[in-house]
A and B are shown apart, each in its own frame.
Chain A
Amino acid sequence: MALPQAKTDATEARLAHLQMPDGAGWANDARADALSRLRAMGLPGARDEYWRFTRPDALNAPVAPGAAVFDAKETALFSDIDRLRIVFRDGVFDAEASDDFSHENLAIERLSDATAKDIHWAKDLYGVLETRGQTPVKRPFAALNTAFATDGVVVRATGKVSKPVSFVYLHENPNSDAILHFVVRVEEGAELTILENGPAAARFNKCMEVEIADRATFHHVRAQGRDHERLAITHLFARLGEESTFKSFTLTANGRLTRNEAVIEVNGDNATAHIAGAAVGDGDFHHDDTVFITHDAVNCESRQVFKKVLRNGAVGAFQGKILVKAGAQKTDGYQISQALLLDGDAEFLAKPELEIYADDVACSHGSTTGAIDEEALFYLRSRGVPSSEAQDLLVLSFLTEAIDEIDDKAISADILSRLEGWLHRRRRS
């Protein structure tokens, strides 16, 4: 089917400003394939089913709209966590600022180094999970990423990795437009935690493909920085083997536009997939979580917990789907998406979807939009807790279910303290 001319024009206009990296080795085929897929699907338009809540214009624009660099003047998130740091400046790997890659049970290479080798494990994954994730819902920016990613790393865990691999995304150039691609493979029985922090660029397109083998564990915690004007479109593709565990949490505070897509294939029996997010926005803030979980194995559990706190014009969107394929019996699927609107000038749009083809499953989903509970607020104040503190306490309690999805207590405490800071800065303003 031919694309509408407007879509083709928008896509070609964008492509005119993009260039595939030279000498991309074995990735060239995957990149060329992604480019032809992108041309066939076109960049998103406002009429596309999964782009009704979020305008793609700023992401489609051939040249990234600039974003002022924000100096947080605070200790960076995860600073107290013993971790292996891998630093990107406006989307370019910075070896000087990064830790040495060598670590027990871990193989890390820069994407360009990996693709230059004739034989490489990542060859079977680069663009593969992304391609699978294009059905049934098109994800043009993920195809764009596979085709044009300029940097990234590949990570393979072969056993329990004793410290998290921590991607640090610095944003220093107000006009940067970064495209990073990551391939992660957690081998059978291995355990890996990946941390991500920072805005990365004025406009950031990130794609992470994660293969989790049987009995492997993958934990992921990310925060998307405090820059107010930055744009981000991210994709997380994961495929889970038998008895494997996947847990992902995202903190989003600020950002003019964020769309985080997750496509999770639960393919091995007895696997667990949890994905959670806490987003807080004030003013020019649009945050979109678009999640697609497919159950294609027996006795698996999935949880989606997404909470948003919005005020002063901020908009939140959630599109979450649980697809249970025929034969995926004993699936336990849970999905909750909630927004707390702190004033009358905020908006939450939600589209929860269940599609079930197995008969012996327990799936539930719920979506709510509400304000601060005035009864609870008075109760706290009547005990002497000042109004602003009481309100913060209630906001944090609203977010608790999402934050609780982070297993590591030190990491969740750090995330919590950032949320406290965000709320504190907005008291009585």
Chain B
Amino acid sequence: MLKINNLHVKLEEEEKIILKGVNLEVPAGKVHAIMGPNGSGKSTLSYVLSGRDGYEVTAGSATLQGQEILELDPEERASAGLFLAFQYPVEIPGVGNMTFLRTALNSQRKARGEDELSAADFLKLIREKAKSLKIDADMLKRPVNVGFSGGEKKRNEILQMAILEPKMCILDETDSGLDVDAMKLVADGVNALRAEGRSFLVITHYQRLLDHIKPDVVHIMADGRIVKTGGPELALEVENNGYADIFAEVA
């Protein structure tokens, strides 16, 4: 599904190299997790994949279902099936959450040559999805993420994912700042979306989330590289012993 090959990335504005040759492949239907200390480049990787400005790819490639994505506009990547649940979801005053979701969904459908969803059909869809994430009518009416609590923002990210039905979902620390109940809601939301044709890349610091969203493969990232890849037991190892042992071993 997603194939990242020798990806090197530096900041556009300064001579700071952040990703130093990332190699990663997430097959269709699989859940991969990335763990790693703060500042190791996890968010940068997710931003570069989704097309945010400010980064320069100096080498390497990334493909989504065989299609090169690094040259595409962010909206083209989205329509191709890529979705990033932001570590820090953005507040957009003045744009209603509902309008935002409908505009996003219909933009993607249009880009793929599909019919736009009618207002009535959209309402039906969103009511159903919002309910399972315990997102009430008020949250749908309010401006995007404005005045939302940390947990509400994260649930709103998952709601967008549920509506847009992407093929490749990247979740950047979606669990951070969530209490146990909110984490369960989010995890249930993600699990409900698990399907053969859909892959996940779950970035997290904690084993906690991975108890709910069982990964097939766990990668450890440090200083802009994937330094170790293993099964779910790797996350447990991090949980119990921290990164020190792993780094000592790969050094």
> A397 contacts which chain B residues (CB < 8 A)?
92-95, 143
Does B75 contact A385, Cβ atoms closer than 8 Å? yes
Q: Given A386-B75, A393-B103, A381 and B51 touching (CB < 8 A)?
A: yes
Bound together, the chains give a CA A382 to CA B69 distance in angstroms of 13
Bound together, the chains give a CA A350 to CA B127 distance in angstroms of 44
Answer whether residue B84 sits at the interface, using C-beta atoms and an 8 A cutoff: yes
Does B75 contact A384, Cβ atoms closer than 8 Å? yes
Bound together, the chains give a CA A405 to CA B99 distance in angstroms of 20
Does A378 contact B73, Cβ atoms closer than 8 Å? no
Does B160 contact A379, Cβ atoms closer than 8 Å? no
Interface 1/0s, chain A 381-407, versus B by CB < 8 A? 111111101100110111111000000
Nearest residue in B to A396 (C-beta to C-beta)? B94
> A393 contacts which chain B residues (CB < 8 A)?
95, 99-100, 103
> B104 contacts which chain A residues (CB < 8 A)?
380, 383-385
Known: A376-B91, A384-B164. 6 other contacts (CB 8 A): A378-B51, A381-B74, A383-B164, A384-B107, A394-B92, A397-B95
Nearest residue in B to A378 (C-beta to C-beta)? B52
> B91 contacts which chain A residues (CB < 8 A)?
376
Nearest residue in B to A374 (C-beta to C-beta)? B53
9 CB < 8 A contacts A-B: A382-B74, A383-B107, A384-B78, A384-B108, A384-B164, A385-B75, A386-B111, A390-B75, A394-B95
Does B75 contact A400, Cβ atoms closer than 8 Å? no
Nearest residue in B to A390 (C-beta to C-beta)? B75
Answer whether residue A80 sits at the interface, using C-beta atoms and an 8 A cutoff: no
Does B75 contact A376, Cβ atoms closer than 8 Å? no
Bound together, the chains give a CA A373 to CA B93 distance in angstroms of 11
CB distance from A306 to the nearest CB of B (A): 16
Bound together, the chains give a CA A373 to CA B164 distance in angstroms of 23
Does A383 contact B160, Cβ atoms closer than 8 Å? yes
Bound together, the chains give a CA A385 to CA B78 distance in angstroms of 9
Bound together, the chains give a CA A128 to CA B185 distance in angstroms of 66
CB distance from B71 to the nearest CB of A (A): 15
Bound together, the chains give a CA A388 to CA B49 distance in angstroms of 21
Cβ-defined partner of A386 (8 Å) among B50, B86, B107? B107
Answer whether residue A48 sits at the interface, using C-beta atoms and an 8 A cutoff: no
Answer whether residue B192 sits at the interface, using C-beta atoms and an 8 A cutoff: no
CB distance from A392 to the nearest CB of B (A): 10
Main secondary structure of the interface of A (DSSP, over half): helix
Interface size class of A (residues with CB under 8 A): 20 to 34
Answer whether residue A74 sits at the interface, using C-beta atoms and an 8 A cutoff: no
Does A378 contact B107, Cβ atoms closer than 8 Å? no
Does B74 contact A378, Cβ atoms closer than 8 Å? yes
Answer whether residue B204 sits at the interface, using C-beta atoms and an 8 A cutoff: no
Does A398 contact B75, Cβ atoms closer than 8 Å? no
Answer whether residue B79 sits at the interface, using C-beta atoms and an 8 A cutoff: yes
Does B103 contact A385, Cβ atoms closer than 8 Å? yes
CB distance from B69 to the nearest CB of A (A): 12
Answer whether residue A49 sits at the interface, using C-beta atoms and an 8 A cutoff: no
Bound together, the chains give a CA A393 to CA B101 distance in angstroms of 12
Answer whether residue A375 sits at the interface, using C-beta atoms and an 8 A cutoff: yes
Taking beta carbons and an 8 Å cutoff, which residues of A are in contact with B? 373-376, 378-387, 389-390, 393-394, 396-401
CB distance from B33 to the nearest CB of A (A): 21
Does A382 contact B94, Cβ atoms closer than 8 Å? no
Does B94 contact A385, Cβ atoms closer than 8 Å? no
Answer whether residue B90 sits at the interface, using C-beta atoms and an 8 A cutoff: yes
Does B78 contact A381, Cβ atoms closer than 8 Å? yes
Interface residues of B in 58-93 (CB under 8 A from A): 73-75, 77-79, 83-84, 86, 89-93
Does A376 contact B90, Cβ atoms closer than 8 Å? yes
> A378 contacts which chain B residues (CB < 8 A)?
51-53, 74, 90
> B79 contacts which chain A residues (CB < 8 A)?
384
Bound together, the chains give a CA A396 to CA B93 distance in angstroms of 11
Q: Given A385-B107, A389-B107, A393-B103, A379 and B73 touching (CB < 8 A)?
A: no
CB distance from A382 to the nearest CB of B (A): 5
Does A401 contact B94, Cβ atoms closer than 8 Å? yes
> B108 contacts which chain A residues (CB < 8 A)?
383-384
Sort A-B residue pairs by CB-CB distance and give the 3 closest, nearest first.
Answer: A397-B94, A384-B78, A383-B104
> A382 contacts which chain B residues (CB < 8 A)?
50-52, 74-75, 77-78, 83-84, 86
> B52 contacts which chain A residues (CB < 8 A)?
378, 382
Bound together, the chains give a CA A152 to CA B51 distance in angstroms of 58
Does B95 contact A384, Cβ atoms closer than 8 Å? no
> B160 contacts which chain A residues (CB < 8 A)?
383
CB distance from B102 to the nearest CB of A (A): 10
Does B94 contact A383, Cβ atoms closer than 8 Å? no
Q: Given A380-B100, A383-B78, A384-B78, A400 and B107 touching (CB < 8 A)?
A: no
> B74 contacts which chain A residues (CB < 8 A)?
378, 381-382
Does B95 contact A387, Cβ atoms closer than 8 Å? no
Q: Given A385-B75, A387-B73, A379 and B164 touching (CB < 8 A)?
A: no
Q: Given A376-B92, A378-B53, A383 and B73 touching (CB < 8 A)?
A: no
Q: Given A381-B51, A383-B78, A375 and B73 touching (CB < 8 A)?
A: no
> A375 contacts which chain B residues (CB < 8 A)?
90
> A376 contacts which chain B residues (CB < 8 A)?
90-92
Nearest residue in B to A393 (C-beta to C-beta)? B95
Interface 1/0s, chain B 92-122, versus A by CB < 8 A? 1111000110011101100100000000000
Interface residues of B in 28-58 (CB under 8 A from A): 50-53
Q: Given A374-B53, A378-B53, A389-B107, A383 and B90 touching (CB < 8 A)?
A: no
> B84 contacts which chain A residues (CB < 8 A)?
382
> B111 contacts which chain A residues (CB < 8 A)?
384, 386
CB distance from B11 to the nearest CB of A (A): 15
> B53 contacts which chain A residues (CB < 8 A)?
374, 378
Bound together, the chains give a CA A398 to CA B83 distance in angstroms of 26
Interface centre among A397, A400, A401 (most CB of B within 10 A): A397
Bound together, the chains give a CA A382 to CA B51 distance in angstroms of 8
Cβ-defined partner of A383 (8 Å) among B93, B100, B143? B100
Bound together, the chains give a CA A373 to CA B100 distance in angstroms of 16
